[in-house]
Structure 1
Amino acid sequence: MVAFMLVGGVLADRLPRHRVMTAGEALNAVAYAALSAMLLTGWTPLPALVAASGLSGVASAVLFPALTGIVPDVVPSERLQTANALLGLGTNVSRVAGLVLSGAAVVLLGGGVALAVSGAMFACAGCLILMLRLTPAERRAARSHSVLADLRIGWREFVSRQWLWVVVAQFSILVMALQAAHGVLGPLIAKESLGGAAAWSAVLAGEAVGMIAGVVVTLRLRPRRPILVATLLTLPTALPSLLLGAAAPLWSVVLGAMVMGVSFDIFGVLWNTTMQREVPPEALSRVSSYDALGSLMLGPIGLMVAGPLAVVTGPRPALTACGVIVVLVSLAALAAPGVRNLRVPEEAADAAPSNA
């Protein structure tokens, strides 16, 4: 996914985005069908499993930049935030349903059948996207220059907006810290002192409920300075790490995870809406791919260093350090004038149901 993310952005800006999304869903369907076939037949060599997983990663790299870019193609500008909130609602509800149903599907049907069902769902998703009928004016004509030239143009659009590259740099470090905390250190604490998998499941459920509840807020919240509000909301995402580091009771950690879920949901809606308003449509998917690449590229480092850090300092001090990193990098992002001062255009603000 990381390797092909920028290429996915170029494709989504060159070609009709709903076609690019359909291709991404088709690749996912093929990848999951292959994984299913391997499990059902018992032929599961590691290189074949890696190849199928890699194909799914390429599919995600193709799909997500196009998804960000297609929203302004199908929704009037004054309804962008509502559309992103509804997309978030569908995503979060589906994520919770997937977590609940996947275990039951594996137990009742087996892993191979469960993966086959997933592949069929990707195929259905591709058919739904294929039903979109964009007007000719909204379609993207193919570019005559090279992929590298397209990437350079997208990079110029990206770095020319201080609020954009500052928050992406913030998230590269924030995601690294949260990956360490929630991918390794939190489950370790849950296993050692909170009751095991059930306790960590409660924390994840709290985050998921918070993300669903955040949609209710984003349907009404219309801040004049959306990136300032979004960046302020990254501060509470440190709560679960700090609470776990302080040996707080489980119920407080679950509440902290709910707050984190609400904060991340509101951030995501405000962030995507602002990008869709501020970035030219013909470069939106490329800028989105730089956003995704920059935000996610340090995450694996967090997973790699979490274990050794826990051995050296203990898991609770390591979790506290992760929370402090999140707070410090968020405060650093707030120091940038572009983050604090970007305002919604007056016509967009006037069309909103309320202002904050």
Structure 2
Amino acid sequence: MRARPAWAGRNYLLLTGATVIANLGSSGALIATAFAVLAAGGSATDVGLVAAARTVPLVLFLLIGGAVADRLPRHRVMVAANALSCVSQGLFALLVLTGEPRLWQMAVLAALGGTGQAFFAPASEGMVLASVSGDQAGRAFAVFRMGMNGANIGGTALGGALVAAVGPGWVLALDSAAFALAAALRAFLDVSGVPARAPGGGVLHDLRDGWREVVSRPWLWAVVVQFSLVNAVVAAAEAVYGPLVAEQHLGGPGPWGLALAAFGAGTAGGALMMTRVRPHRLLLTGALCIFPLALPSAALAVPLPVAGLSAIMFATGISVEVFAVTWMMALHQEIPEEKFSRVSSYDWLGSLAMVPLATALAGPVQDLIGRKAALWGCSAVIALLTAAVLCVPEVRRLTRRTSPAPAAGRAVPRAEAAEPHPAEAE
């Protein structure tokens, strides 16, 4: 029997396994939540309200979650957040299975899940980055993301089938069980090699310290600002304009689902490619791979037939995944371990904060200038912002160190440090 790779340490395997399990459940639960609202007599607006109820606390508590994760043991924050999500999804399932849930009840439970995610996400990313070291980090991150993306694709397909077969309540119950199992795996993470956190000056002090960490690195804040707008226009194009174009020109939700599946397959292919590719200029490579993200909006503006749109979505998925892996490598290499989660929380906040506003404004913008012009505008915003980021010298110059010395304060968990060639993975 073939031994596991030397870079796949114990913490890495636990984190990857827990992420695959949790994402399988969560991807299906997104579909189940929407259909649970509709089955209770809700409208499309009600579906949006429940989705917003999850997003708002996620945005509000992200920075606090990052500060807490750098102050307390990250694995305990992750387990507690998973437990909250387990309870909220379990109660949601119970409401759906035993009665007629009210809109406010579903919104409150969705908000609890969003709160759990706000504390989980920075802690998880910090734990992943801290769990690896050495020159195999890119490969480890790519394999982790391949598992994560595969779980998202499989969970979406399985969730849709299960909602049709047994109803949304049972899918929500399975998601609750998945969170419980993921929490159990994360409880076994080995943190014996991580030094105790030094007492700080409070959460606000930690947030200011994290902010200084971000603004002191032009490459970091430039990409965070870039993606605050890029993610917003991509969300508007895919969540609002894409379904409308599909309905009027491509044949309905089936072809649109095929295009989205092609993007998911592309992300898996990009992660697989990054297990072999080790770019020297990390952020230059990653930034160049954001230009193709402007193509799906342009394809919808034309609009291209579903075959052409799917091909573009597949290629875009590959390029986005190259960026994602190089970004993780840059953070792992440049950010001190004890500040991983705080920096991650600002990164997450930048990625999510503008999305609700963009999706809310997508309809009025379409009414004002037309859908075609709005879609071409989305493409232009992505291209111009990416070109602007390439004007930042640090983005072009940041290189991968083949034998990096640990940054100040960075600790390698004992399980990984014992390996001859430990890998950097989540």
TM-score by length of 2: 0.79
- For 1:183, give the aligned amino acid: A
Q: Distance in 2 between matches of 1:331 and 1:348?
A: 29
Q: Distance in 2 between matches of 1:139 and 1:17?
A: 12
Aligned match of 1:161 = 217
Aligned match of 2:128 = 71
Aligned match of 1:194 = 250
Q: Distance in 2 between matches of 1:83 and 1:43?
A: 45
Kept after mapping to 2: 8 A contact 1:69/1:276:
no
- For 1:264, give the aligned amino acid: V
1:345 CA displacement: 2.3
1:9 CA displacement: 0.6
Partner deviation per Cα, 1:130-166 (whole Å, 9 max, x = no partner): 121222x315426342100010111111111000000
- Among 309, 313, 332, the residue aligned to 1:257: 313
What is the SS of the residue equivalent to 2:399?
coil
Aligned match of 1:248 = 304
Partner deviation per Cα, 1:231-275 (whole Å, 9 max, x = no partner): 111000111111111222221111111111111111111101211
Aligned match of 1:315 = 371
- Among 231, 235, 238, the residue aligned to 2:294: 238
Q: Which runs of 4+ in 1 moved over 6 A?
A: none
Q: Distance in 1 between matches of 2:354 and 2:217?
A: 22
- Among 127, 151, 156, the residue aligned to 1:94: 151
- For 1:36, give the aligned amino acid: A
Q: Distance in 1 between matches of 2:368 and 2:337?
A: 48
Q: Which moved more, 1:41-50 or 1:161-170?
A: 41-50
- For 2:257, give the aligned amino acid: S
Describe how 1:270-309 pairs up with structure 2 within 5 A.
270-309=326-365
Kept after mapping to 1: 8 A contact 2:282/2:329:
no
Q: Which moved more, 1:185-194 or 1:16-25?
A: 16-25
- For 2:88, give the aligned amino acid: A
- For 2:156, give the aligned amino acid: L
What is the SS of the residue equivalent to 2:284?
helix
Q: Which moved more, 1:157-166 or 1:137-146?
A: 137-146
Q: Which moved more, 1:140-149 or 1:207-216?
A: 140-149
1:346 CA displacement: 4.4
Q: Distance in 1 between matches of 2:130 and 2:304?
A: 47
Q: Which moved more, 1:77-86 or 1:137-146?
A: 137-146
What is the SS of the residue equivalent to 1:178?
helix
Q: Distance in 2 between matches of 1:5 and 1:247?
A: 37
> What is the aligned-residue RMSD (CA, Å)?
1.8
Q: Which moved more, 1:69-78 or 1:250-259?
A: 69-78
Q: Distance in 2 between matches of 1:140 and 1:26?
A: 24
Aligned match of 1:129 = 186
Aligned match of 1:49 = 106
Q: Which runs of 5+ in 2 are unaligned?
A: 1-57, 406-420
Q: Distance in 2 between matches of 1:134 and 1:79?
A: 21
What is the SS of the residue equivalent to 1:78?
coil
- Corresponding position: 1:114 with 2:190: no
Q: Distance in 1 between matches of 2:196 and 2:362?
A: 43
Q: Distance in 1 between matches of 2:319 and 2:67?
A: 30
Q: Distance in 1 between matches of 2:287 and 2:242?
A: 24
Aligned match of 2:204 = 148
Q: Distance in 2 between matches of 1:51 and 1:142?
A: 36
Distance 1:196 1:228, change over 3 A: same
Kept after mapping to 2: 8 A contact 1:178/1:322:
yes
Q: Distance in 1 between matches of 2:311 and 2:196?
A: 45
Q: Distance in 2 between matches of 1:105 and 1:143?
A: 48
- For 2:254, give the aligned amino acid: A
Kept after mapping to 1: 8 A contact 2:283/2:398:
yes
- For 1:98, give the aligned amino acid: G
Aligned match of 1:27 = 84
Aligned residues: 351
Q: Distance in 2 between matches of 1:352 and 1:172?
A: 33
Distance 1:159 1:25, change over 3 A: same
- Corresponding position: 1:38 with 2:95: yes
What is the SS of the residue equivalent to 1:221?
coil
Q: Which moved more, 1:224-233 or 1:45-54?
A: 45-54
What is the SS of the residue equivalent to 1:114?
helix
1:229 CA displacement: 0.8
Kept after mapping to 2: 8 A contact 1:242/1:319:
yes
Distance 1:156 1:243, change over 3 A: same
Kept after mapping to 2: 8 A contact 1:15/1:142:
no
Kept after mapping to 2: 8 A contact 1:71/1:83:
no
Q: Distance in 2 between matches of 1:97 and 1:220?
A: 24
What is the SS of the residue equivalent to 1:4?
helix
1:71 CA displacement: 2.1
If asked which structure has higher relative contact order (CA below 8 Å, sep 6+), I would say: 2
Q: Distance in 1 between matches of 2:299 and 2:263?
A: 14
- For 1:78, give the aligned amino acid: D
Identity of aligned residues (%): 38
- Corresponding position: 1:185 with 2:217: no
Distance 1:227 1:264, change over 3 A: same
Aligned match of 1:339 = 395
Partner deviation per Cα, 1:53-99 (whole Å, 9 max, x = no partner): 11111111111111211124322232322221111011100101111
